[in-house]
């Protein structure tokens, strides 16, 4: 079974621009979560999508948004990029998410550099 | 908000030494506990997890962890490390039995990670 895939793997943008990252979950997984990984803050939860609806959201500004499609693929968008948005963005999928005690499986991440 | 604390940010050991990485969390309710590993150049992989039942759980590559509810701890152990265990280790916690609120941060809460270096 193929794992979680993320595209692109690397991205360079300049301040003020916007960016869209894509994530394809493991086949059959309906929950997709996004995390930001930085050296200073570590891994932080951004949001979770299930059945095309945002179910949970972390403590990030509204510039960070996402969506999920009917095939469970998800996109994350960051508008008006700031230097501090430079990070590794990780996508994780699980079958049900939410209250279900289950494992999240992570993709390789998209490394974003904002100049 | 819950938090996860990993006591050691950097650990250096020689091959065959025993390993224990500490992890403490703050949430007092039902929790789901995980240890993930990130090998150099690779993505996060699950080492082991605890949902319920036997508090001593075994994972891949000879790792195990013990859930001690009274201490809010989930320490990772390995009796004899190998050079290939060099990696970043993350402890993560998820609140259990919490309905999706739509507003709260109900995803995984990670510790800051422990960078483990095994010297041959």
What is the pLDDT averaged over residues A2-27? 97
Rounded Cα distance between B43 and B16, Å, is 25
H, E, C per residue of chain B: CCCEEECCCEEEEECCCCEEECEEECCCCCEEEEEEEECCCCCCEEEEEECCCCCEEECHHHCEEEEEHHHCEEEEEECCCCHHHCEEEEEEEEECCCCCCCCCCCCCEECCCEEEEEEC
Residues in chain A: 115
Question: Which of A42-46, A61-65, A83-87, B103-107 is the least confident region?
Answer: B103-107
Does pLDDT of B61 surpass 80? Answer: yes
- Identify the three-state secondary structure at position A83: helix
Which percentage of chain A shows pLDDT scores above 90? 84
**CB-closest option in B51, B101, B108 to A101:** B51
Rounded Cα distance between B34 and B76, Å, is 10
More confident residue, B118 or B94: B118
Does pLDDT of B62 surpass 90? Answer: yes
Q: Looking at beta carbons, which residues of chain B come within 8 Å of A44?
A: 110
pLDDT of residue B95: 82
Does pLDDT of B101 surpass 80? Answer: no
pLDDT confidence bin for B106, thresholds 50/70/90: low
A52-75 pLDDT, tens digit per residue, is 999 888 999 999 999 999 999 999
Which percentage of chain B shows pLDDT scores above 70? 91
- Identify the three-state secondary structure at position A101: coil
More confident residue, A22 or B28: A22
pLDDT confidence bin for B98, thresholds 50/70/90: low
Please state, in angstroms and as integers, the Cα–Cα distance from residue A78 to each residue in A91, B55, B58, following that order: 14, 40, 39
Cross-chain residue pair A103–B109, CB shorter than 8 Å: no
Please state, in angstroms and as integers, the Cα–Cα distance from residue A109 to each residue in A9, A90, B29, B38, following that order: 6, 4, 31, 12
Rounded Cα distance between B29 and B51, Å, is 13
Does pLDDT of B76 surpass 80? Answer: yes
What is the pLDDT averaged over residues B43-48? 95
Give me Rg for the CA atoms of chain B: 14
A22-34 pLDDT, tens digit per residue, is 999 999 999 999 9
Q: Looking at beta carbons, which residues of chain B come within 8 Å of A99?
A: 96-100
Q: Looking at beta carbons, which residues of chain A come within 8 Å of B104?
A: 56-57
């Amino acid at each position: 079974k193929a794992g979680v895939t993320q595209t692109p793997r690397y991205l360079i943008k300049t301040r003020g621009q916007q960016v869209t990252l894509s994530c394809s979950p493991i086949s059959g997984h309906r929950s997709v979560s996004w995390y930001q990984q930085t050296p200073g803050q570590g891994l932080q939860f951004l949001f979770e999508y299930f059945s095309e609806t945002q179910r949970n959201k972390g403590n990030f500004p509204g510039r960070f948004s996402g969506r999920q499609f009917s095939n469970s693929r998800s996109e994350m968008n960051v508008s008006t990029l700031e230097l501090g948005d430079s990070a590794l963005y990780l996508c994780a999928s699980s079958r049900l998410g939410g209250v279900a005690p289950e494992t999240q499986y992570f993709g390789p991440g998209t490394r974003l550099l904002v100049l | 908000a819950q938090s996860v604390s990993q006591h050691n940010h950097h650990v250096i050991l020689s091959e065959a030494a025993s390993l224990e990485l500490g992890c403490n969390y703050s949430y007092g309710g039902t929790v789901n506990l995980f240890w993930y590993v990130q090998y150099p150049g690779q993505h996060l992989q699950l080492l082991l997890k605890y949902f319920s039942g036997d508090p001593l759980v075994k994972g891949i590559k000879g790792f195990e962890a013990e859930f001690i509810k009274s201490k809010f701890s989930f320490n990772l152990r390995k009796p004899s490390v190998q050079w290939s265990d060099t990696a970043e280790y993350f402890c993560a916690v998820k609140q259990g039995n919490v309905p999706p609120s739509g507003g709260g941060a109900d995803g995984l809460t990670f510790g800051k990670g422990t960078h483990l270096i095994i010297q041959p």
